[in-house]
Amino acid sequence: MTSSPKRTSKAQDAREPRSVYIEPLLKRWCDGLLRYEVTGMGQPHMDGNLLCPSCVRIHGRAIDAVFPLLVLSKRSGDSRYVDLARRIFNMTELVYEREDGSNVNDVDTNWRAITVFAAIALADALNADKDGNLLPEIDRKRWVKRLERMGDFLRNYPYWEEANANYQITKSLALAKVGLFFGRRDDLDRARATLAAAWRFLTPDNLIFGEGRPFDRRSPKGCLPIDIGYNVEESAPALAEAALLVGDAADQERAAGVLRSHARFLLDDGGWDNSFGSRAFKWSWWGSRTADGAALAYLLYSDRDPSFAEIACRCLAILEDCTGSDGLLMGGRRYDDWGEPSCIHHTFTHAKILAALLEHGTEVLTSNPSLTLPRYEPGFRSYVYAVDSLLVTEEEWTATISGYDWIFLPEGHPSGGDLTLLKPLGADPLLVATMNKYVFQEPHNMQQARLDCHRPLTPRLVLGDPGDDEASSLYGTTAPLFREAPAPTEGLKALDIDGTLPDGTAYRYRYTFEPDKIRMDIRWDGAATGTYVLPLIVDPAIVRDKQEPDADGVRLRRRDGEIILKTSGAKVSWATDHDYIYNLVGGFMARELHLTSETGQLSWTLEFRAGV
């Protein structure tokens, strides 16, 4: 999966080099943090809180912001940023620190493993001010003492095995940074031992598992708890940086292999395909809502693979594209379009990566369109056994088909062999899976939808009432997509999937892959009327255009081109309850199309014509 000078499509050929300037983006984000600070209360446990405009609450991990604020203050000479960092430090010390040196995630929780991220941010902040030009001496001493207390917690906390893998992996990096700051050889030894233990979370093809418990529990199909968003923005970067700090050459090569394996999930616009992830309820197109980011890790390892610098640039580009008008990082591309405010948590965690890039001497990253990302190699096919998902790329599109059955929560992700992603090259996606039902698995870390038209966007088969999602293929079960190992995917042009709906009805999908389109043939047992629900992603600006379907299908205009759907054996209609629907997961808006048949079968073909 290394880079190639070949180009795969006209859409990719049309890409122009793009530069992302890091300090201006960091300034936009830090100005956004300033905009939402609680001020004027006259009490240190209140001033310095960051009020989230989406959640209308305070997020306890605000201490993560002290590192990017100090870096920006050092570079700009603007004291507002260091002053905010000092108030945040004071507030979080009073409100969120506990007697054992830990920091809790929120005032109404006792989750303490989150301290790994606070320790990394605080160590990085102190290193950014190693000359002592930003913090008053009395403050610096308090910050150092607090880092010492965090180190005590990291060494003594007895419940790491109860945490998901990203905490256990990131603990290695936290111990390494604490050990290097204080010159503690014992902490560096602990960091090495924790890094060595972290390799147990790798599949044979170097995917990280453990985002769900028990870590090693396999699903009926042998799948493991894997979440691409957490992996690429939290766990893999922590592995990579810890390997550089305390590992040996073998550790670093192994970390590079982890980055390389995950690179197949990167899309051409910089989004990450987490359409099937165990914790996809926090999928945010660019990664995961409360994680840090992938760009630094890929850049640090760019001497090992020429595609890594390009991956880092694409990761930053999507963050810039998803920055809203208020200076905060949105949870997806289109939040501004329907008036969803941004959760501030995204900004203060991801700002750390921008600050770290600047501290490493990187001012700007410029893309190289002549480099082909791993997923866009000619004829790319990748069957990922551990998540029972097939990644397919043709000349003009890429897709994911998933039967992933490791269930973190029943509403979390589809499992019935449906398309979880269909994206043309150089354009917004056509289809994107979301949660089967938007439930608050992590109420402190998920936004509340403000509109009633918030619905799942996953394509699905349902018999009877088209609105009965719980009876649909969202909750279906399938045989493994492939029964052989390794899967015979080279040159694959079609895929058959046998599934069972929750009521026991058998169905069969057949996908056919063509250079410019994808075809789906659907059959089901019995005499029930069946509907294939197909939410097609559209532009909010033109979503109310009345483009009515005809007997053969429908055409939908978008700013980046035209969607052309052709059907056979089905009546075509729009859902009547809403003109459009949207979902916070991924952040896209769609029109819900119903393809209905009374004969037990139907077919459709979908293509996209760019620029029409």
Joined tokens for residue 143:
């910050």
Domains within the chain, CATH numbers bracketed = 15-374 (1.50.10.20), 377-610 (2.70.98.70)
Beta bridge partners of 520: 511, 604
Cα of 447 vs its chain's centroid, Å = 15
Summarize the confidence of residues 409-415 as an average pLDDT.
Answer: 91
338 confidence band (pLDDT: 50, 70, 90): confident
Query: By three-state DSSP, how is residue 104 classified?
Result: coil
Encode pLDDT of 170-219 as tens digits.
999 999 999 999 999 999 999 999 999 999 999 999 999 999 999 999 99
pLDDT at residue 4, rounded to an integer: 35
How crowded is residue 90: how many other Cβ atoms within 10 Å of its Cβ?
Answer: 16
Q: What interhelical angle do 115-128 and 137-156 show, nearest 10?
A: 150
pLDDT above 90 covers a percentage of the chain that reads 84
116-122-197 Cα angle (round to 5): 30
- Residue pLDDT, tens place only, 481-538: 998 777 889 999 999 999 999 999 999 999 999 999 999 999 999 989 999 999 999 9
Q: Model confidence over 66-108: pLDDT tens digits? A: 999 999 999 999 999 999 999 999 999 999 999 999 999 999 8
CA atoms within 13 A on the CB side of 91: 30
Q: Three-state SS across 299-357?
A: HHCCCCCCHHHHHHHHHHHHHHHCECCCCCECCCCCHHHHCCCCCHHHHHHHHHHHHHH
Q: Give residue 544's pLDDT.
A: 52
* Residue 294 in tokens: 């992938």
Tell me the C-alpha distance between 353 and 316, whole Å. Answer: 10
113-158 tens-digit pLDDT: 999 999 999 999 999 999 999 999 999 999 999 999 999 999 999 9
pLDDT category of residue 439 using cuts at 50, 70 and 90: confident
Query: For residues 190 and 183, what is the distance between their CA atoms, to the nearest angstrom?
Result: 13
**3-state secondary structure labels for all residues of 483-495:** CCCCCCCCCCCEE
Range of weakest confidence among 393-407, 444-458, 540-554 = 540-554
Residue type, 183: G
